[in-house]
C-alpha cells in the first residue's frame, strides 16, 4: 500500500470519530471530525479547546485552518488483560 493510499484510508477511518488536533502554537482541540480537505483544513463538532492540558473553552462547531495544524491523532484505547 502506498503512503497516499494509507493516508486516505486513515482519513476515511477517522471521519465522524473523536480526534485530537495539535496546533503549531501548542493548543489542542478535541472533537468529532466532520470534514478534512486536501489542505488539512479541519471542521470539528463538539469541540473542546485545551491550553497546557487544561480545558479553556467549548465550541459547538469549529473550523481550523490547515496551515496551523501540527498533527491529527485519534484517542488510543486501553487494553484490558
pLDDT at position 54: 96
CA 42 to CA 68: how far, in whole Å?
Answer: 10
pLDDT at position 79: 44
Which residue numbers in the chain have pLDDT < 70? 76-81
**Is the pTM here over 0.85, yes or no?**
no
Residues 28 and 20: beta-carbon distance below 8 Å: yes
pLDDT at position 66: 94
Torsion of CA 59, 63, 69, 72, to 10 degrees: 70
Name the architecture of domain 3-73: Roll (2.30)
Residues 65 and 41: beta-carbon distance below 8 Å: yes
Amino acid at each position: 500500500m502506498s503512503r497516499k493510499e494509507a493516508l486516505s484510508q486513515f482519513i476515511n477511518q477517522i471521519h465522524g470519530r473523536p480526534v485530537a488536533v495539535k496546533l503549531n502554537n501548542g493548543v489542542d482541540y478535541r472533537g468529532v471530525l466532520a470534514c478534512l480537505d486536501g489542505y488539512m483544513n479541519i471542521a470539528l463538532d463538539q469541540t473542546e479547546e485545551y491550553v497546557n492540558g487544561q480545558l479553556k473553552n467549548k465550541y459547538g462547531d469549529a473550523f481550523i485552518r490547515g496551515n496551523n495544524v501540527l498533527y491529527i491523532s485519534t484517542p488510543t484505547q486501553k487494553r484490558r488483560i
